[in-house]
Amino acid sequence: MARILLTGATGLLGGAVLHETLDRDDGTSWICLVRCANADQGRQRVAARLARFTDPFTAQRLARKVEIVPGDFTQADHDNDPRLDGVTHILHLAADTSYFGGERLFRTNRDGTLALARRAARMRNLQRFLHIGTAMSCGAEAGPVVAESRPDPEARHLVPYTASKAATEEALAAEFPDLPLVVARPSIVVGHSTLGAGPSSSILWLVRAADRLRLLPCAPESCCDIVPADWAAGALLTLLRKHDLAHDLYHVSAGLPSVTRWSALNRAFEAAEPSDGVRALSCFDLSDRAALRDRFRAVFGLDSPLKQTMLRATRAYYAFCALDMTFANDRLLAEGVAPAPALSDYLATCLANSAPIIDQFADDLEMFVPPPAPGPAALPQAVVA
Ligand SMILES: NC(=O)c1ccc[n+]([C@@H]2O[C@H](COP(=O)([O-])OP(=O)(O)OC[C@H]3O[C@@H](n4cnc5c(N)ncnc54)[C@H](OP(=O)(O)O)[C@@H]3O)[C@@H](O)[C@H]2O)c1
């Protein structure tokens, strides 16, 4: 019987995984390592995440099916809870996903994952440690079609977050050669193919903002590698449970078969929310900071710290869009995972239950607040665009 330890159950992909699997009743037991004061509070946190995918009653029922181990994965090597000893599989999703977290990102993502790996080394029945990286750990120069290979330690990164994820993979491989390690690297997770924006509007706000701005940092035929949360969860479950995998590293991505082009998204927006029938997109050079700021001010205004942070976040995401990257997923498809639906195919579903763009961004705000400056009086500062 599989006994799976899940980190990150209260996050987007953790919720999607539990929602996809808990009703299967296949004898698998799930243990969620959750930051909480006690198991009851942890279960309520898991239920709250599941309630984004289903009704509150079902969310409570599903949450009762998991065991809760209160804890922080960065301290897992000191966790002697005997329930962890019999774990057969680990799905390690938890991470600090903030873009600008600085050194803290390395402490949590790299050093924390090494602490979890030290605990995993004491699990005698462990068959798989599925570590979730990010496709962008390849760095900024690996395109246009990125192969599934180990990160280049010298690669240039656009933000510390992806550098910390690349460093985590490198450290795991170097320090734990005997761990049954498989790395899965999702590309960009946006919405849910049938529940739309309900489970999460993370990054969806950016796609919608680009449409409203009618301004791209790349040609309209450029690609963005986007997958829905439910498909990503299904792919991760395959990589977690399939007995024999051909490789130890996979992209969980749209790849060439399902890649989304901005031009196709533009048509999908026009079909879902008709405007003048043209919806003309223009391109700008990302180094022209005034062009983006002026257009942003005209469309959304810049009259609050929230909007100023949203401009900064838009600029950060546009830097990734400008790379025009697709992440090869031949390995994943060869394991029997069906290709992902393209965002242009489920965009209308996402728009149907979307809140206003600025409210959707507010949900992602934590990712873009820089860490407080050191010192007792330091407070998070309003971000100036
Ligand atoms: N979403 C994407 O587009 C995307 C793309 C590529 C890769 N990924 C990777 O996929 C994974 C999951 O992403 P996500 O979008 O689901 O992230 P998320 O929504 O930001 O959730 C992060 C999860 O990690 C947990 N966590 C953070 N620090 C922790 C700690 N010290 N101890 C225990 N739990 C901790 C959080 O718990 P709390 O609730 O307690 O904070 C939360 O459950 C991450 O590794 C991310 O790098 C995501």
70 domain residue, yes or no: yes
Q: What is the domain extent for residue 125?
A: 3-195+224-257
State both tokens at 359.
């409210």
Tokens coding 196: 């739309």
Position 36 in a domain: yes
258 lines ligand 1 (CB under 6 A): no
> Domain count of the chain?
1
How far is ligand 1, taken at its centre, from the CA of residue 90, in Å? 15
In the three-class reduction of DSSP (H, G, I as helix; E, B as strand; rest coil), residue 192 is classed as strand
Residue 365 within a domain = no
Does the beta carbon of 10 lie inside 6 Å of ligand 1? yes
Specify the pLDDT at position 319.
96
Shortest-distance atom of ligand 1 to CA 200 = 19
The answer to whether position 164 is within a domain reads yes
Residue in 13, 91, 251, 260 to alter for ligand 1 test, most ligand atoms within 8 A of Cβ: 13
Instruction: Say how many Å lie between the CA of residue 151 and the centre of ligand 1.
Output: 20
CA–CA dist 42, 32 (Å, integer): 9
What is the Cα–Cα distance from 175 to 34, expressed in whole angstroms?
Answer: 25
Ligand 1 centroid from CA 8, angstroms? 5
Q: Is the CB of 96 under 6 A from ligand 1?
A: yes
CATH of the domain at 179: 3.40.50.720
Whether the CB of 77 sits within 6 Å of ligand 1? no
Q: Is residue 109 part of a domain?
A: yes
CA-based angle 210:338:29, to the nearest 5? 100
For residue 35, being part of any structural domain is answered with yes
In a domain, 374, yes or no: no
Asked whether the beta carbons of 145 and 323 are under 8 A apart, the reply is: no
What CA–CA distance (Å, rounded) separates 333 from 337?
A: 5
Q: Is 341 within the bounds of a domain?
A: no
**What's the pLDDT score for residue 26?**
87
Q: What is the chain's pLDDT, residue by residue, as a tens digit (385 residues)?
A: 899 999 999 999 999 999 999 988 888 999 999 999 999 999 999 999 999 999 999 999 999 999 999 999 999 999 999 999 999 999 999 999 998 888 999 999 999 999 999 999 999 999 999 999 999 999 999 989 999 998 888 999 999 999 999 999 999 999 999 999 999 999 999 999 999 999 999 999 999 999 999 999 999 999 999 999 999 999 999 999 999 999 999 999 999 999 999 999 999 999 999 998 889 999 999 999 999 999 999 999 999 999 999 999 999 999 999 999 999 999 999 999 999 999 999 999 999 999 999 999 999 998 888 766 665 443 334 333 3
